[in-house]
Amino acid sequence: MIEVRRLTKQFGKHPAVDNISFSAEKGEILGFLGPNGAGKSTTMRMITGFFPPSSGTVIVGGSDILTQSLAARRKIGYLPENAPVYPDMTVSRYLDFCAEIRGFGGAAKKQRVGETLERCFLADVRHQAVNTLSKGYKQRVCFAQSILHDPEYLILDEPTDGLDPNQKHEVRLMIREMSATKAIIFSTHILDEVDSVCSRAIIIANGKVVADDTPDGLRRRSISHGSVVLTVTGAATDDIQQRIEVLDGVASVSVVESDGERTTLRIFPDDPAVPVADRVIASANQDGVRLASVFVEQGRLDDVFREITTGIRP
């Protein structure tokens, strides 16, 4: 387990990370979200022992990163932001170096490096110098370095940044696959990624944790969560809006779009947990009116993210 305890980092007077606490268990994939400059990278740098915290500490699998730094660092795999790798080394030399410093030698080293090259789709460029690689490949080399020693804890700072859609998919698959035996913390600006990969998400803003929840839990906070979006043809907009507004369990109805022929309405229920879709459909269903589409909105992470980090309701 990674336990982040009351972590604070001041740069000058300004706190970049302000008293953050959370923990991640093995089996969890923790998404780390927040606007630019929120303090995600700074937090990760403290977790991995690169920055000394101004106060607070991190316990990695029982080892304190400040007092038992080496033991803690042995258990961590880290992909820093912007994937820094020595530019004039070849890919396989670089991974050899990482394997050696992690304590592998001889056949074990060869096997590790070989496997990792395959896994990260780097076998074709293994003899190429890093500075001749494209950005996405560099990112993969650095990712390869982080999983090389099969660490118990993975800290990934924007691991899919710069990857093509196929590679993004592969990395997400890999993260999901590895999560059974590892605790993984990764930061991202891609909210879909949170949905498809994370078991939990933490949103930070201005150095503080502002939300810590499952992706579904976050979505439920969206004002559009549980609302019914209905599109009908052949009905007067005012007429159908009034008819639905008076239904039991309906809080309000707003017109999304209306062009005379076609009307799209959004119906907000009193309680998102109590479905109103059946009643809405029944009341819309009358002579001359045809249902074009109807669906229940789950809520959108984008909206929740914006609301939580800026306080503006979309």
Partner 1 sequence: MQSGNFLRNIWIIMKREFAGYFGSPVAYVFIVIFLLLTGFFTFYISNFFEAGQADLKGFFQWHPWLFMFLVPAVAMRLWAEERRLGTIELLLTLPVTVTDVVLGKFLAAWCFIGIALALTFPLVLTTMYLGNPDMGVIFCAYLGSFLVAGTFLSVGSMTSALTRSQVVSFILAVVACLFLILAGFAPVTAVLSGWAPMGLVDLVSATSVLSHFASISRGVLDVRDLLYYLSVMVFMIFVNGVILQNRESA
Ligand X SMILES: Nc1ncnc2c1ncn2[C@@H]1O[C@H](COP(=O)(O)OP(=O)(O)OP(=O)(O)O)[C@@H](O)[C@H]1O
Interface residues with Mg ion (CB under 5 A) are 40-41, 81
> HSE (CB half, 13 Å, CA atoms) of 175?
31
Q: Which amino acid appears at position 26 of this protein?
A: K
Sequence-distant (≥ 6) Cβ neighbours of residue 14 within 8 angstroms = none
What letter would DSSP give residue 122? -
**Residue choice 29, 30, 41, 263 for contact with ligand X (CB under 6 A):** 41
What letter would DSSP give residue 252? E
**Residue choice 5, 102, 262, 300 for contact with partner 1 (CB under 8 A):** 102
- DSSP codes of every residue in 257-293: EE-SSEEEEEEEESSTTS--HHHHHHHH--TT-EEEE
Smallest gap from Cβ 202 to Mg ion, in A, equals: 14
Binding partner of residue 295 among ligand X, Mg ion, partner 1, none, CB cut-off 5 to 8 Å per kind? none
- DSSP codes of every residue in 34-58: --TTSSHHHHHHHHTTSSPPSEEEE
Binding segment toward partner 1, per CB under 8 A, in 71-79, 220-228, 257-265, 281-289: 71-79
52 binds partner 1 (CB under 8 A): yes
86 binds ligand X (CB under 6 A): no
Smallest gap from Cβ 207 to ligand X, in A, equals: 7
Residues in contact with partner 1, shown as a per-residue x/- string from 181 to 220 under the rule CB under 8 A = ----------------------------------------
Contacts made by residues 235-240, CB under 8 angstroms, sequence distance 24+: 235/263, 235/284, 235/288, 235/289, 237/263, 240/265, 240/284, 240/289
272 binds ligand X (CB under 6 A): no
How far from each other are the two terminal CA atoms of the chain, in whole angstroms?
36
Smallest gap from Cβ 37 to ligand X, in A, equals: 4
Smallest gap from Cβ 6 to partner 1, in A, equals: 19
Binding partner of residue 82 among Mg ion, partner 1, ligand X, none, CB cut-off 5 to 8 Å per kind? partner 1
Looking at the Cβ atoms of 43 and 92, the one nearer to ligand X is 43
270 binds partner 1 (CB under 8 A): no
Looking at the Cβ atoms of 53 and 269, the one nearer to ligand X is 53
Residue for token pair 């669906």: 295
**Which ranges of the chain does DSSP label H, i.e. alpha helix?**
40-47, 69-74, 91-101, 106-119, 135-147, 165-178, 191-197, 215-220, 237-245, 277-284, 301-310
Binding partner of residue 88 among partner 1, ligand X, Mg ion, none, CB cut-off 5 to 8 Å per kind? partner 1
Rounded to whole angstroms, the Cα distance separating 104 from 123 reads 20
Summarize as ranges the residues that interact with partner 1 (CB under 8 A).
11, 45, 48-52, 70, 73-74, 76, 78, 80, 82, 84-89, 93, 97-98, 100-102, 142, 145
Summarize as ranges the residues that interact with ligand X (CB under 6 A).
11, 16, 34, 36-42, 81
